[in-house]
Structure 1
Amino acid sequence: MRSIRHRLLLSLFVVWATIWIAVAAVSLDRSEHEVGELMDAQLAQTAHVLLQLTREGSLPDAASQPQALTPIGHPYESMISFQLWRQGKLISTFGAAPPEPLAHAPGFSDHRIADTHWRVFGLPTGRTDEIVFVGQSYAIRHELIQYLTVHALRPILWSMPLAVLLIWLAVTDGLRPLGRLTSQVSHRSAEQLDPIDPSRSPIEIRPLTLALNGLMKRLDRALAAERHFAADASHELRTPFTIIRAHAQIARRSKRAQERDQALDLLTQGIDRASHLISQLLVLSRLHHSVGDGGAESCSLAAVAGEAIEDKSVMADTRGVTLAAKCPPDDPVLVELPPAPLAVLVANLLDNAIKFTPPGGQVRVSIKARREHAFLSVEDSGPGISAKDRARVFDRFYRAAGQTAPGAGLGLSIVRRICDIYGLDIELLGAETGATGLLVEVRFRRLA
């Protein structure tokens, strides 16, 4: 792709050449018109002078030698001729007029005789069958038109190198702010993400400057989130791996089989917790770099939720929790969301609900379809979340005081991230049944 400089230079040169050609065409047309008017007037004037001479009998007889050009005359004299015809007989002639009549009627006319193109004016003398023809070769007119046009356009032709130089300098100066902006951006380090001053940029590239500032602001937030995420992840991973190491050392030093088996069981549990934590961290990291487009894909909320409920049924049975579902009959409930993030969202909500529901409790999943929206509700009979903690439970690694259930504090953070990416609304409410429990409701854009 050509650079902006080359495109501007080419465009300006094309425009300048087009204007020059248009000026040349207009000049040529006006020169032809003015020269034609002037020469026609000259022919008519010459014819009237000759008519006066004819009446005074001053014209030479054609029977004598034709009139010759004088040495002190002009070469154009040979291109201007006249004839006097009387009763079909050539009475007098001058110049390069041929022996046949220059024209056959009075007034202006064009005729080609032999290889010469003539402009002729015929003027009757008033006598019977007598007429004066004054002819002029078109070569005179063409030469004069060419001379006038070239001399009119010569200053433009001479100015062409200067115009090219001035256009190049103007384009170079006009693009200099882009060069300064490029230099400012290229000389920045990865940590230097402060905004560029838009007031020093021309109006035309100010939107680009503002867009770059917005991009650097987003990059700064993303890098800050990455640093924060890395610090939190390293801190959270240090604890489970320290516990795993401790249990491994106990199992290695233990001489009693019962003590060794207990240490190995605790080691296995620690590995499971660390694996779950790493899995959640990877999911959160992938979501952190995702860009949502709710209109790009769609899926069935009922189908994805049904699969997630089936996957979590073993976990619920193991903990003695009843898992119930309620979906609209014969309605897939299509929503504007890809199936993969929707499955992660439902799975984390179910994980969180089952984990905090005591044995004998119940987790209810319900899907409601409205005109333009669909609602997914996950309600548990656990201890619930206090009003002051509901805003903070979406923070990474946050765990409310007094919680004893295992976990890393990432489940609701992942759910919030998916909601932010795809423009979903999520709300934490008190359970509709019982004095305790939590109701999580997510609102989706529904497809007809």
Structure 2
Amino acid sequence: MRSIRHRLLLSLFVVWATIWIAVAAVSLDRSEHEVGELMDAQLAQTAHVLLQITLAGNLPDAAGTPQALSPIGHPYESMISFQLWRQGKLISTFGAAPAEPLAHASGFSDHRIADTAWRVFGLPTGTSDEIIFVAQSYAIRHELIQYLTLHALRPILWSMPLAVLLIWLAITDGLRPLRRLTSQVTHRSAEQLNPMDPGRMPVEIRPLTLALNGLMKRLDRALAAERHFAADASHELRTPFAIIRAHAQIARRSKCPEERDHALDLLLQGIDRASNLISQLLVLSRLHHREGDSGAESCSLTAVAAETIDDKSAMASARGVALTYKSPSDDPVLVDIPPAPLGVLIANLLDNAVKFTPAGGQVRVTIAARREHVLLGVEDSGPGISVEDRARVFDRFYRSAGQAEPGAGLGLSIVRRICDIYDADIELLEAETSLAGLLVEVRFRRTA
């Protein structure tokens, strides 16, 4: 792709050439018109002068000695001629006139005689059947027109190198703000993300400056969140790995098989918890840098929910929790969210509901379709979440006081992030049914 400088130079040269051609065409047209007017007037004037000479009887007889050009004359004399005809007979002639009439009627006319184009003016003398023809070769006119046109356009041709230089200097000066902006961005470090002043930029570059400022603001926010996320992740990962190390050391030092087996069981549990924590951290990291995805693909909420519930049914059975599901039987319920993040959202809600529901309890998943939105409800018979903690449980690594169940406090953070990306709403409510636990209600946009 050509640079902006080359584009501007080419565009200006094309414009300049177009203007020059237009000026040349206008100059040629005006020169032809003015030269034609002048030469026609000269022909008419010459014809009237010859008429006066004819009346005085001083014209030479055509039957006499042929007229010769003067040695001190001009070469154009051979391109000018006249004739006097009386009653169809050539009475007198001069110049390059042929033996036949130059024209056949009075007034101006154009004729080609012996491969030469002539402009002829015929003037009746007033005597019966007597007319004077004055002719001029078009070669005189063409030469004069060419001279006048080139003389008028010569300054433009001579100014071409100067115009090229001035155009190049003007473009170079016009692109200086872009080079200055490039220099400012190039010399910035990763930590120097403060916005640039758009007021000092030209109007044409101001939108670009504002866009760069927005990009740097998002980068600054992302880097700050990344540093915060890394600090939190390192802090949260330190504890499970310390526990894993402690259990491994116990198993290594233990002489009793029962004690060793117990330590190994705890070691495996610690590894499972660490693996789950790392998996949740990776999901949250991938979701963190995504912006709103308004053009996302749609999927069937009922299909994704049914598949996720099947995956979680074994875990619920192992904990003695009944997992039920209710959805419209004749409606796939399409929502504006891809199946992968939707599955992560439902899986995290089910994990929390099953984990905090005591044995013998129940978790109920319901889908209700409305005209413009869809409601996904996950309701459990667990202890619920206090009103004071409901606003904070969406924070990363937050765990309510007195919580005995293991976890990293990332499940609802991931759910909230997915809702933010795909323009869904989530709300924690008191269960209004016999379950009397927590109701998590997610409102999705329905696919048109």
Fold conserved between structures, TM > 0.5: yes
1:301–1:335 contact (8 Å) kept in structure 2: yes
Q: Write the mapping of 1:29-44 to structure 2, written as runs, cut at 5 A.
A: 29-44=29-44
Aligned partner of 2:437 in structure 1 is 437
Aligned partner of 2:349 in structure 1 is 349
Q: Write the mapping of 1:240-251 to structure 2, written as runs, cut at 5 A.
A: 240-251=240-251
Alignment of 1:50 onto 2:50 = yes
| Greater Cα offset, 338-347 or 284-293 | 284-293
One-letter amino acid of the structure 2 residue matched with residue 276 of structure 1? N
One-letter amino acid of the structure 2 residue matched with residue 332 of structure 1? P
Distance in 1, Cα, partners of 2:381 & 2:149: 98
| Greater Cα offset, 322-331 or 259-268 | 259-268
Distance in 2, Cα, partners of 1:31 & 1:264: 107
The one-character-per-residue Cα deviations of 1:101-136 (angstroms, maximum 9, x if unpaired) are: 111111111111102110000011111211100000
Aligned partner of 1:310 in structure 2 is 310
Alignment of 1:15 onto 2:53 = no
1:291–1:421 contact (8 Å) kept in structure 2: yes
Aligned partner of 2:176 in structure 1 is 176
The one-character-per-residue Cα deviations of 1:221-277 (angstroms, maximum 9, x if unpaired) are: 111111111111111110000001111111111122222222122111111111111
| Greater Cα offset, 291-300 or 159-168 | 291-300
2:240–2:274 contact (8 Å) kept in structure 1: yes
SS at match of 1:194: coil
Aligned partner of 1:377 in structure 2 is 377
1:244–1:271 contact (8 Å) kept in structure 2: yes
Q: Write the mapping of 1:69-218 to structure 2, written as runs, cut at 5 A.
A: 69-218=69-218
| Greater Cα offset, 214-223 or 386-395 | 386-395
Distance in 2, Cα, partners of 1:330 & 1:16: 70
Aligned partner of 1:4 in structure 2 is 4
Aligned partner of 2:219 in structure 1 is 219
One-letter amino acid of the structure 2 residue matched with residue 107 of structure 1? G
One-letter amino acid of the structure 2 residue matched with residue 363 of structure 1? V
One-letter amino acid of the structure 2 residue matched with residue 374 of structure 1? V
2:380–2:435 contact (8 Å) kept in structure 1: no
Structure 1 position 435, deviation (Å): 8.4
Distance in 1, Cα, partners of 2:311 & 2:156: 83
Distance in 1, Cα, partners of 2:194 & 2:434: 53
Aligned partner of 1:406 in structure 2 is 406
Distance in 2, Cα, partners of 1:291 & 1:343: 19
Distance in 1, Cα, partners of 2:183 & 2:237: 42
Aligned partner of 2:269 in structure 1 is 269
| Greater Cα offset, 72-81 or 248-257 | 72-81
One-letter amino acid of the structure 2 residue matched with residue 379 of structure 1? E
The one-character-per-residue Cα deviations of 1:130-155 (angstroms, maximum 9, x if unpaired) are: 11000000001001101110111111
1:194–1:216 contact (8 Å) kept in structure 2: yes
Distance in 1, Cα, partners of 2:202 & 2:17: 29
Aligned partner of 2:359 in structure 1 is 359
One-letter amino acid of the structure 1 residue matched with residue 152 of structure 2? A
Q: Write the mapping of 1:412-423 to structure 2, written as runs, cut at 5 A.
A: 412-423=412-423
Distance in 1, Cα, partners of 2:200 & 2:295: 39
Distance in 2, Cα, partners of 1:178 & 1:184: 10
The one-character-per-residue Cα deviations of 1:295-339 (angstroms, maximum 9, x if unpaired) are: 331111001001111111111111111111110111110111111
Alignment of 1:336 onto 2:336 = yes
Runs (5+) with no aligned partner, structure 1: none
SS at match of 2:204: helix
Distance in 1, Cα, partners of 2:272 & 2:431: 30
One-letter amino acid of the structure 1 residue matched with residue 151 of structure 2? H
2:363–2:380 contact (8 Å) kept in structure 1: yes
Cα RMSD after superposing both structures: 1.3
Distance in 2, Cα, partners of 1:367 & 1:25: 78
One-letter amino acid of the structure 1 residue matched with residue 33 of structure 2? H
1:295–1:337 contact (8 Å) kept in structure 2: no
Q: Percent identity?
A: 85
Moved over 3 A (4+): 289-292
SS at match of 2:390: coil
SS at match of 1:18: helix
2:379–2:435 contact (8 Å) kept in structure 1: no
Structure 1 position 291, deviation (Å): 4.4
TM-score, length-normalised on structure 2?
Answer: 0.98
SS at match of 1:84: strand
| Greater Cα offset, 203-212 or 375-384 | 375-384
SS at match of 1:203: coil
Distance in 2, Cα, partners of 1:444 & 1:188: 42
Distance in 1, Cα, partners of 2:436 & 2:384: 6
Structure 1 position 163, deviation (Å): 0.6
One-letter amino acid of the structure 1 residue matched with residue 445 of structure 2? R
